[in-house]
C-alpha cells in the first residue's frame, strides 16, 4: 500500500514529463493558453523541489514552452542549477535550456563561469562537449575572457570530438574577446593539418569566417589552403576553402591564376560526380567558368521538366552571374537573352535574381524594351512584394547614373504615370520623387509632365478611392506640386484648379493637402493672369469666389500645416477679391508672390560656401568652462607658433592662386560686413533667370556679393555684365552639351560642371581685381616718383612725408584707371567711344606701373597738346578723430597748358565718405582751391570719414578740369582710384618694452603669423622698411629678432615679432582685431614680395 502511494506520488511527480506536456497541449487546442499557464504553475512548483531530477524535468518542459514563445527567463537560476548537476542527462538538459534562452544580458551567466570551467576539464568527453555546445550559444565577453585559456588547452585535447568543438568555439571567443586571437592563432593554424578531418574542417571553417572579416591577414595561409584544396576530399572543407580564396584573390591577383587549374579540375569532377554541384556558387568569385554557368542555365531552362534541382541550378547560376556582373559586366551582358528569359520563370526567387542582373544589362538601346517587358510583368504579377520589387527595379534601372540610359523623358514620365495605376504599392513616394526630379531637372519635359500631372489630378478620385492607405496617393503630392509650380504650361489651369479644390481632397493625408492648398494658390495666380488679360473681369472674380468657397474646407483641417496655409491664402484671396471689385488689376502682383524659379542644388553645394576668414567654426564662442582655467594661468607663449592656425596655411608662396583665394576671402568678408551693401535682391533675381537650370546658388554667392557698392562704379557693372555673359556662355555651352547628350541632364554632369564653374569664377574675380595686383609696385614707388599718366601729362609724385605732420601714414598714388589695359573692357559702353580715342593716342599708358615712377622720364618729351594735371596722394589718419582720414593730394601740371576749374570727386562707399561742405549733395565734387599754371604743383587736402578700418578699400573718383591753351580750352576728365590700405590707418606710436610686454600678456590679442622667404636685405633695412612703409616703431631689438608696435587711428594695438634666419623672415603678430591684422600682414608681405 505504502509502496503504491509512493509509486503513485512519484508517478504524479513525473506525470508531466515533456511528452505529457506536449500531449496535454495537443489535447487542449481550445484553451491552450490557459492550459499552459497551469503547466507553468506546476513547473514553478517543481522547480521549488530539491530533487534535481524533478528540476531537470521542469527545465526540459520550459525549453519546450520557450519554443512556443513563452518567456522563461524567470527560471534562469534553476537552469544554472540543472547545468551544475553531476549527471550528464540533467547537465545536457540544463545546457540546452541555457543555450535556448540565455543571452548577454542574462545576469546569472556570471555564476556559470566556474561550473563551465569544471565541465570543460571533466574526464567525460561528453560533459565537455555539452558544455562547449552550450557555451557557443551564450558566450559573453566576460565568459570568453575567463575561459579562453581553458578552451585553448582543449584545442590539443586527445579526443578529436573535443578538439573539433574547441576549435570551432574559438571563433565565438574571438568575436567576444578579440585579444585572444593573437595567442590562439598559431594553434589554430596547426589544426589545419590535424589528422582528424572533422577538426581540420572546423579549423578551415573558423579561418574562413575570420578571413571574411579581414582577408588580408590571412594571405599568408594561402599556400597551406592550396595544399588542402588539392588534397582534401571533404566537400565541406573544399567549399569553405574556395570561399576563402574568393575573399583572398582580390587582394592577391596572382592567386587567381594559380587557382584556375585546380578549380576547373574540381568543377569537372564535382559536376560529374556530385549531383549537387557544390562548387558552382563558390567559384563565381574567381571568374573561371562563366561559360559553364551559362551553359548550365541554358541547359536548365531548356529542360522541359522544371524539377526543383534544375531550378536550384538556375538560381545559383544567376547568383553567380550577379557576382560576376560587378567585376565583368561585359561577359554577363552577352547572356542577356538568357536572363530575360529567366524573367518569365515561374519561380519568384529566380525572377528576383534575374531582375538584379537586369540592372547591369540595360543600355540606351534596349532600356525601353526591357522596361516594357517589366511593365508586362507588373501587370501580371500577383503578390505585392514581387510587384513592389519590380516597381523599384524599374525606377532603379531607369534612374541609374542620373538617367544615363533614358533617351526620351516623355516616355519615362508616361511609365511613371502608368506605374501609379498599380494597386496597393508601397512605393508611391518613390514614384513621386522621380516625377518631381524629372520635372525639375529636365526643363524640356515640363510641358508634357504638367499635362500628365493635370490628368492625374483630374482622375484623382481613382487614386483616393480605395488605396489611400497604401501610399500611392503620394503621387498626388508630386502631381499637385508640378501643376502648381509650372502652371504656365497648363492648358486648362482653371480645370486643374477645380480638381485641386475638390472636397474629396480633404480625405488625403495632411502633407499632401498642404501641397494642394499651396499650389492651388499658385494656380489661382496663373488663372487670374490669364483672365485679366482677356479683359473679362467677371471671370476673374468668379475664380476668386471659387477659391473663397472651397478654401474653408481646408481651414477646418485637423492638420496644422493645411490649416495655416489655407487660412493664409483664404485671407489673401478675400483681399484680392476686394481689389477686383474696385477694378484693380491684381494679377501681376499675385503672380509676384510665386515668381522666381526653384533650381536644384547640387548635394555638395553647401561645401562650396567658403567659411569666412576669421571665422573658426571649432572655436569656443564663450570661454570654455572652468577646467581650462588652470591652463590659462600658465605663462603663454607670447606669439603663436610658426604654423598658423587655420586661416592661411600657405603664406609663403604668394602665387596667383593664393592671391585669388585671399581676394575671394576678402570679398567674402566685405559681404559679411554690415557696412557694405549686399547684393540687391533684384540683381540676384536677374542672375537666377539668366543662366538656366544649371545655375547653382553657390555660384551666385561668389559672384554677386563682392561687387555691391552704392553708386556702383561702371567698370564694376561691366564686370558684372561680363560675368553674366560668361554665365550665359557657359549655359549655352552646356545646352549644346545637353543636346549632344540628348536631353540627358545628369547630376554627375552637373557636378562636373560645377567644378570648373567655380574655377572659372576665380578668373572674373581675378579680372576685377587686377588693379590690386599692380598696387604694390605702385605703392612702393610712391616715395619719389613721377608718374606718367597720359603722354604729355604727368604727375610728379612727391613724397608727402616731409610735407605733412609726423603721423603721416601711408603713401599712395592716384591710380589712373584708364591706364590699365585690363580695365578697358570693363568700362561702360557710353564711355567707350571716348576711351577709344584716348587709347589711340596713349597706347603706352599701361607702362606706368612697371618699374615705378622713375621710368616716367621716357615721356619727357611732350608729344601732344592735351594736358593733364596729375597727382600724388597720401592718406593720413587723424589721431584726434578715429573716424577721419586726411588725404593729401599733390597736383602737378606737367604740360604746357593752364589748368583750371579742377573738381575732385569720389564715389562714396558706405564705409568711407568724402567730407563735403554743408549744403552740397552726396555726389557733388569738391573744387580744388587753386589753378595750375604749367609746371606748377600744389597740394590739396580732402577729409574722409571712415567707419571701419579693419579692411583695405578702394574708392573711385574722377577729377575734372579745364585745359586752357592760347587758342582753345577743353574739358578733360581723369579717373583714378584711391587705395586705402590698412597700413594707412596705422600711426607710428612709440611704445616702451614694459608696456609692450603688458599688452601682450593681457590676452586680448589675437595671433597671426606670416613667413617671408628669400628676403635678402640686412635686418635693420628690413626693420626700417617696415617702420617706414607700415608705420611701426621698433620696441626692442635683440640680434636677429625685434619687436615692433603700432596703433591704428581707432586705437587697435598691433604688435609684431620679427625674426630672421637666413633668407626667411617670420613675422608673428598680435592685434585685438584679427581682420585688421590679417590685412596689415598681407600688406607687409606684399611690400617684401617686391624685393
Partner 1 sequence: MIKAILIFNNHGKPRLSKFYEHYNEDTEQQIIRETFHLVSKRDENVCNFLEGGMLIGGSDYKLIYRHYATLYFVFCVDSSESELGILDLIQVFVETLDKCFENVCELDLIFHVDKVHNILAEMVMGGMVLETNMNEIITQVDAQNKMEKSEVMCFVTFINQCPCLDICSMQGHCFAFHTASASR
Nearest distance from C-beta of residue 262 to partner 1, angstroms: 18
What is the SS3 assignment for 980? strand
Q: Which is nearer to partner 1, 51 or 466 (CB)?
A: 51
Q: Which helix (H) or strand (E) holds 172?
A: helix 160-176
71 sits near partner 1 (criterion: CB under 8 A) = yes
Give the one residue of 75, 148, 192, 280 binding partner 1; rule: CB under 8 A.
280
815-816: strand order across its sheet: 815-816, 969-980, 953-964, 898-906, 926-927
Considering only the stretches 184-192, 280-288, 333-341, 435-443, report the one whose residues sit in contact with partner 1 under the rule CB under 8 A: 280-288
Give the one residue of 165, 335, 667, 1025 binding partner 1; rule: CB under 8 A.
165
> CA distances (Å), 9 to each of 12, 13, 17, 57, 88, in order?
5, 6, 14, 15, 25
Q: For residues 566 and 514, what is the distance between their CA atoms, to the nearest angstrom?
A: 8
Q: For residues 158 and 161, what is the distance between their CA atoms, to the nearest angstrom?
A: 9
Q: Which is nearer to partner 1, 386 or 807 (CB)?
A: 386
Q: For residues 520 and 669, what is the distance between their CA atoms, to the nearest angstrom?
A: 42
52 sits near partner 1 (criterion: CB under 8 A) = yes
Considering only the stretches 110-118, 228-236, 619-627, 772-780, report the one whose residues sit in contact with partner 1 under the rule CB under 8 A: 228-236
Structure-block grid coordinates of residue 872: 600724388
Q: Which is nearer to partner 1, 3 or 558 (CB)?
A: 3
Q: For residues 490 and 479, what is the distance between their CA atoms, to the nearest angstrom?
A: 12
161 sits near partner 1 (criterion: CB under 8 A) = yes
Q: Which is nearer to partner 1, 168 or 368 (CB)?
A: 168
930 φ/ψ angles, rounded to the nearest 5 degrees: -155, 165
384 sits near partner 1 (criterion: CB under 8 A) = no
Contact positions with partner 1 (CB under 8 A) in 246-265: none
Exposed (0-12), middle (13-18) or buried (19+): which is 373, by Cβ within 10 Å?
middle
181 sits near partner 1 (criterion: CB under 8 A) = no
Which parts of 929-1043 fold into alpha helices (H)? 993-1001, 1019-1030
The residues that bridge with 876 in the sheet, in sequence order, are: 886
Contact 907, 863 (CB under 8 A): no
Considering only the stretches 200-208, 430-438, 551-559, 739-747, report the one whose residues sit in contact with partner 1 under the rule CB under 8 A: 200-208
271 sits near partner 1 (criterion: CB under 8 A) = no
Nearest distance from C-beta of residue 420 to partner 1, angstroms: 24
Give the one residue of 24, 35, 100, 1041 binding partner 1; rule: CB under 8 A.
100
Structure-block grid coordinates of residue 1027: 617702420
Contact 1091, 1026 (CB under 8 A): no
70 sits near partner 1 (criterion: CB under 8 A) = yes
282 sits near partner 1 (criterion: CB under 8 A) = yes
Q: Which is nearer to partner 1, 267 or 765 (CB)?
A: 267
Considering only the stretches 235-243, 488-496, 772-780, 1017-1025, report the one whose residues sit in contact with partner 1 under the rule CB under 8 A: 235-243
Q: Which residue has the cell 493625408?
A: 509
Nearest distance from C-beta of residue 282 to partner 1, angstroms: 6
50 sits near partner 1 (criterion: CB under 8 A) = yes
The residues that bridge with 1038 in the sheet, in sequence order, are: 1041
CB neighbourhood size of 329 (10 A): 12
Nearest distance from C-beta of residue 261 to partner 1, angstroms: 21
Q: Which residue has the cell 541550378?
A: 313
93 sits near partner 1 (criterion: CB under 8 A) = yes
Q: Which is nearer to partner 1, 73 or 684 (CB)?
A: 73
235 sits near partner 1 (criterion: CB under 8 A) = yes
Nearest distance from C-beta of residue 475 to partner 1, angstroms: 25
Give the one residue of 115, 264, 298, 311 binding partner 1; rule: CB under 8 A.
311
Nearest distance from C-beta of residue 257 to partner 1, angstroms: 23
Give the one residue of 27, 38, 45, 89 binding partner 1; rule: CB under 8 A.
89
Q: Which is nearer to partner 1, 169 or 932 (CB)?
A: 169
Q: Which is nearer to partner 1, 318 or 1058 (CB)?
A: 318
Give the one residue of 272, 346, 582, 840 binding partner 1; rule: CB under 8 A.
346
What torsion do the CA atoms of 798, 803, 809, 813 make, to the nearest 10 degrees?
-20
Q: Which is nearer to partner 1, 198 or 360 (CB)?
A: 198
Nearest distance from C-beta of residue 61 to partner 1, angstroms: 10
Nearest distance from C-beta of residue 87 to partner 1, angstroms: 5
What is the SS3 assignment for 1048? strand
DSSP letters of 880-904? Answer: SSTTEEEEEEEEEE-SSSEEEEEEE
Q: Which is nearer to partner 1, 109 or 991 (CB)?
A: 109
Q: Which residue has the cell 563682392?
A: 706
Give the one residue of 206, 259, 494, 955 binding partner 1; rule: CB under 8 A.
206
Q: Which is nearer to partner 1, 291 or 307 (CB)?
A: 307
Contact 565, 519 (CB under 8 A): no
Give the one residue of 37, 45, 51, 1090 binding partner 1; rule: CB under 8 A.
51
66 sits near partner 1 (criterion: CB under 8 A) = yes
Tell me the residue length of the chain.
Answer: 1091
Q: For residues 1062 and 910, what is the distance between their CA atoms, to the nearest angstrom?
A: 45
Q: Which is nearer to partner 1, 68 or 1038 (CB)?
A: 68
Q: Which is nearer to partner 1, 277 or 529 (CB)?
A: 277
Q: Which is nearer to partner 1, 330 or 346 (CB)?
A: 346
DSSP letters of 926-958? Answer: EEPS--B-TT-EEEEEEEEEES--SS-EEEEEE
| Number of amino acids touching partner 1 (CB under 8 A) | 90
Q: Which is nearer to partner 1, 129 or 697 (CB)?
A: 129
239 sits near partner 1 (criterion: CB under 8 A) = yes
1024 sits near partner 1 (criterion: CB under 8 A) = no
259 closest CA partner among 249, 251, 250: 249
Contact positions with partner 1 (CB under 8 A) in 121-160: 124, 126, 129-130, 132-133, 136-137, 139
58 sits near partner 1 (criterion: CB under 8 A) = no
1075 closest CA partner among 1015, 993, 985, 991: 985
Contact 706, 765 (CB under 8 A): yes
Q: Which is nearer to partner 1, 86 or 581 (CB)?
A: 86
Q: Which residue has the cell 613724397?
A: 799
Contact positions with partner 1 (CB under 8 A) in 652-711: none
Nearest distance from C-beta of residue 651 to partner 1, angstroms: 50
5 sits near partner 1 (criterion: CB under 8 A) = yes
Nearest distance from C-beta of residue 54 to partner 1, angstroms: 6
31 sits near partner 1 (criterion: CB under 8 A) = no
> CA distances (Å), 15 to each of 58, 81, 82, 543, in order?
11, 22, 20, 85
Give the one residue of 144, 151, 203, 208 binding partner 1; rule: CB under 8 A.
208
Q: Which residue has the cell 506640386?
A: 481
Exposed (0-12), middle (13-18) or buried (19+): which is 443, by Cβ within 10 Å?
middle
Structure-block grid coordinates of residue 233: 576530399
Nearest distance from C-beta of residue 240 to partner 1, angstroms: 8
Contact 543, 494 (CB under 8 A): yes
Count Cβ neighbours within 10 Å for each residue of 184-193 and write b for 16 or more, e otherwise. Answer: bbebbeebbe
Q: Which is nearer to partner 1, 48 or 837 (CB)?
A: 48
Q: Which residue has the cell 508531466?
A: 16
54 sits near partner 1 (criterion: CB under 8 A) = yes
844 closest CA partner among 897, 781, 770, 793: 793
Q: For residues 759 and 443, what is the distance between their CA atoms, to the nearest angstrom?
A: 26
67 sits near partner 1 (criterion: CB under 8 A) = yes
Q: Which is nearer to partner 1, 8 or 533 (CB)?
A: 8
Amino acid at each position: 500500500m505504502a509502496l503504491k502511494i509512493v509509486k503513485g506520488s512519484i508517478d504524479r511527480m513525473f506525470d508531466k514529463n515533456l511528452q505529457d506536456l506536449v500531449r496535454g497541449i495537443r489535447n487542449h487546442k481550445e484553451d491552450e493558453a490557459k492550459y499552459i499557464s497551469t503547466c507553468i504553475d506546476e513547473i514553478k512548483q517543481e522547480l521549488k523541489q530539491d530533487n534535481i531530477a524533478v528540476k531537470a524535468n521542469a527545465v526540459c518542459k520550459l525549453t519546450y514552452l520557450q519554443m512556443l514563445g513563452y518567456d522563461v527567463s524567470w527560471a534562469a537560476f534553476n537552469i544554472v542549477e540543472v547545468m551544475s548537476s553531476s549527471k550528464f542527462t540533467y547537465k545536457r538538459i540544463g545546457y540546452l535550456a541555457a543555450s535556448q534562452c540565455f543571452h548577454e544580458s542574462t545576469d546569472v551567466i556570471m555564476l556559470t563561469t566556474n561550473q563551465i570551467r569544471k565541465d570543460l576539464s571533466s574526464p567525460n568527453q561528453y560533459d565537455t562537449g555539452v558544455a562547449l555546445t552550450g557555451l557557443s550559444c551564450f558566450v559573453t565577453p566576460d565568459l570568453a575572457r575567463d575561459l579562453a585559456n581553458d578552451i585553448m588547452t582543449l584545442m590539443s585535447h586527445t579526443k578529436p570530438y573535443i578538439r573539433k568543438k574547441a576549435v570551432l568555439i574559438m571563433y565565438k571567443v574571438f568575436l567576444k574577446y578579440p585579444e585572444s586571437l593573437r595567442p590562439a592563432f598559431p594553434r589554430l593554424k596547426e589544426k589545419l593539418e590535424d589528422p582528424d578531418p572533422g577538426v581540420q574542417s572546423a579549423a578551415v571553417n573558423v579561418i574562413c569566417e575570420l578571413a571574411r572579416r579581414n582577408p588580408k591577414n590571412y594571405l599568408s595561409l594561402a599556400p597551406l589552403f592550396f595544399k588542402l584544396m588539392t588534397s582534401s576530399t571533404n566537400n565541406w572543407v573544399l567549399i569553405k576553402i574556395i570561399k576563402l580564396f574568393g575573399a583572398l584573390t582580390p587582394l592577391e591577383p596572382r592567386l587567381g591564376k594559380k587557382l584556375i587549374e585546380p578549380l576547373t579540375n574540381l568543377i569537372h569532377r564535382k559536376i560529374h560526380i556530385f549531383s549537387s554541384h557544390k562548387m558552382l556558387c563558390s567559384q563565381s568569385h574567381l571568374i573561371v567558368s562563366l561559360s559553364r554557368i551559362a551553359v548550365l542555365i541554358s541547359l536548365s531552362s531548356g529542360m522541359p521538366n522544371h524539377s526543383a534541382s534544375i531550378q536550384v541550378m538556375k538560381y545559383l547560376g544567376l547568383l553567380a552571374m550577379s557576382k560576376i556582373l560587378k567585376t565583368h559586366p561585359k561577359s554577363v551582358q552577352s547572356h542577356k537573352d538568357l536572363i530575360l528569359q529567366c524573367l518569365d520563370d515561374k519561380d519568384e526567387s529566380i525572377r528576383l535574381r534575374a531582375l538584379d542582373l537586369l540592372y547591369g544589362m540595360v543600355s540606351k538601346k534596349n532600356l525601353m524594351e526591357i522596361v516594357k517587358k517589366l511593365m508586362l510583368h507588373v501587370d501580371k504579377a500577383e503578390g505585392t512584394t514581387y510587384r513592389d520589387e519590380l516597381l523599384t527595379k524599374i525606377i532603379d534601372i531607369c534612374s541609374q547614373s542620373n538617367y544615363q540610359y533614358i533617351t526620351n523623358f516623355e516616355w519615362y514620365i508616361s511609365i511613371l504615370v502608368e506605374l501609379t495605376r498599380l494597386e496597393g504599392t508601397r512605393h508611391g513616394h518613390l514614384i513621386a520623387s522621380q516625377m518631381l526630379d524629372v520635372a525639375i531637372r529636365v526643363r524640356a519635359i515640363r510641358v508634357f509632365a504638367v499635362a500628365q500631372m493635370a490628368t492625374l489630378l483630374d482622375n484623382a478620385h481613382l487614386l483616393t478611392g480605395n488605396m489611400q492607405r497604401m501610399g500611392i496617393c503620394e503621387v498626388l503630392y508630386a502631381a499637385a506640386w508640378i501643376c502648381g509650380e509650372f502652371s504656365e504650361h497648363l492648358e486648362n489651369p482653371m480645370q486643374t484648379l477645380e480638381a485641386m479644390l475638390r472636397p474629396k481632397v480633404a480625405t488625403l493625408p495632411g502633407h499632401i493637402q498642404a501641397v494642394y492648398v499651396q499650389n492651388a494658390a499658385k494656380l489661382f495666380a496663373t488663372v487670374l493672369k490669364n483672365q485679366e488679360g482677356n479683359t473679362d473681369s467677371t471671370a476673374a472674380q468668379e475664380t476668386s469666389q471659387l477659391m473663397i468657397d472651397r478654401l474653408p474646407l481646408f481651414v477646418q483641417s485637423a492638420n496644422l500645416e493645411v490649416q495655416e496655409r489655407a487660412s493664409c491664402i483664404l485671407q489673401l484671396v478675400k483681399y484680392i477679391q476686394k481689389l477686383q471689385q474696385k477694378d484693380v488689376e491684381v494679377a501681376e502682383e499675385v503672380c509676384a508672390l510665386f515668381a522666381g524659379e526653384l533650381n536644384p542644388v547640387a548635394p555638395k553645394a553647401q561645401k562650396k560656401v567658403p567659411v569666412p576668414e576669421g571665422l573658426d567654426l571649432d572655436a569656443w564662442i564663450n570661454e570654455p568652462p572652468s577646467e581650462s582655467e588652470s591652463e590659462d594661468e600658465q605663462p603663454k607663449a607670447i606669439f603663436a607658433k610658426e604654423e598658423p592656425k587655420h586661416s592661411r596655411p600657405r603664406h609663403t608662396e604668394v602665387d596667383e592662386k593664393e592671391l585669388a583665394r585671399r581676394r575671394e576671402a576678402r570679398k567674402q568678408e566685405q559681404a559679411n560686413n554690415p557696412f557694405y551693401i549686399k547684393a540687391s535682391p533684384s540683381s540676384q533675381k536677374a542672375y537666377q533667370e539668366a543662366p538656366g537650370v544649371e545655375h547653382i546658388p553657390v555660384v551666385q554667392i561668389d559672384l554677386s556679393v563682392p561687387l555691391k557698392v552704392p553708386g556702383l562704379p561702371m567698370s564694376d557693372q561691366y564686370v558684372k555684365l561680363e560675368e553674366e555673359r560668361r554665365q550665359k556662355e557657359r549655359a549655352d555651352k552646356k545646352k549644346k552639351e545637353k543636346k549632344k547628350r540628348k536631353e540627358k541632364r545628369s547630376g554627375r554632369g552637373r557636378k562636373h560642371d560645377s567644378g570648373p564653374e567655380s574655377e572659372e569664377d576665380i578668373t572674373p574675380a581675378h579680372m576685377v581685381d587686377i588693379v590690386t595686383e599692380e598696387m604694390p609696385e605702385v605703392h612702393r614707388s610712391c616715395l619719389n616718383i613721377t608718374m606718367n599718366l597720359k603722354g604729355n601729362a604727368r604727375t610728379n609724385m612727391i613724397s608727402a612725408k616731409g610735407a605733412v605732420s609726423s603721423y603721416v601714414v601711408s603713401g599712395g598714388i592716384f591710380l589712373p584707371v584708364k591706364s590699365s589695359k585690363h580695365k578697358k573692357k570693363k568700362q561702360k559702353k557710353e564711355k567707350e567711344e571716348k576711351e577709344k580715342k584716348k587709347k589711340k593716342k596713349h597706347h603706352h599708358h599701361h607702362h606706368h606701373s612697371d618699374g615705378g615712377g622713375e621710368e616716367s622720364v621716357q615721356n619727357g618729351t611732350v608729344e601732344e597738346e592735351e594736358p593733364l594735371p596729375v597727382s600724388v596722394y597720401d592718406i593720413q589718419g587723424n589721431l584726434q578723430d578715429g573716424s577721419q582720414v586726411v588725404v593729401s593730394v599733390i597736383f602737378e601740371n606737367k604740360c604746357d597748358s593752364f589748368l583750371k576749374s579742377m573738381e575732385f570727386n569720389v564715389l562714396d562707399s558706405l564705409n568711407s565718405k568724402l567730407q563735403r561742405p554743408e549744403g552740397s549733395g552726396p555726389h557733388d565734387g569738391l573744387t580744388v582751391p587753386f589753378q595750375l599754371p604749367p609746371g606748377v604743383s600744389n597740394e590739396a587736402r580732402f577729409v574722409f570719414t571712415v567707419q571701419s578700418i579693419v579692411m583695405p578699400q578702394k574708392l573711385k573718383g574722377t577729377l575734372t578740369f579745364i585745359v586752357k591753351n592760347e587758342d582753345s580750352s577743353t574739358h578733360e576728365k581723369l579717373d583714378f582710384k584711391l587705395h586705402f590700405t590698412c597700413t594707412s590707418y596705422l600711426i607710428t606710436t612709440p611704445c616702451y618694452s614694459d608696456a609692450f610686454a603688458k599688452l601682450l600678456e593681457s590676452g586680448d590679442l589675437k595671433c597671426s603669423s606670416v613667413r617671408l622667404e628669400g628676403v635678402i636685405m640686412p635686418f635693420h633695412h628690413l626693420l626700417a622698411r617696415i617702420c617706414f612703409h607700415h608705420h611701426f616703431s621698433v620696441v626692442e631689438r635683440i640680434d636677429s629678432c625685434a619687436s615692433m608696435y603700432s596703433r591704428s587711428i581707432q586705437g587697435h594695438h598691433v604688435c609684431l615679432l620679427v625674426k630672421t634666419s637666413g633668407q626667411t623672415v617670420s613675422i608673428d603678430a598680435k592685434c585685438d582685431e584679427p581682420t585688421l591684422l590679417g590685412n596689415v600682414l598681407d600688406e607687409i608681405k606684399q611690400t617684401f614680395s617686391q624685393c
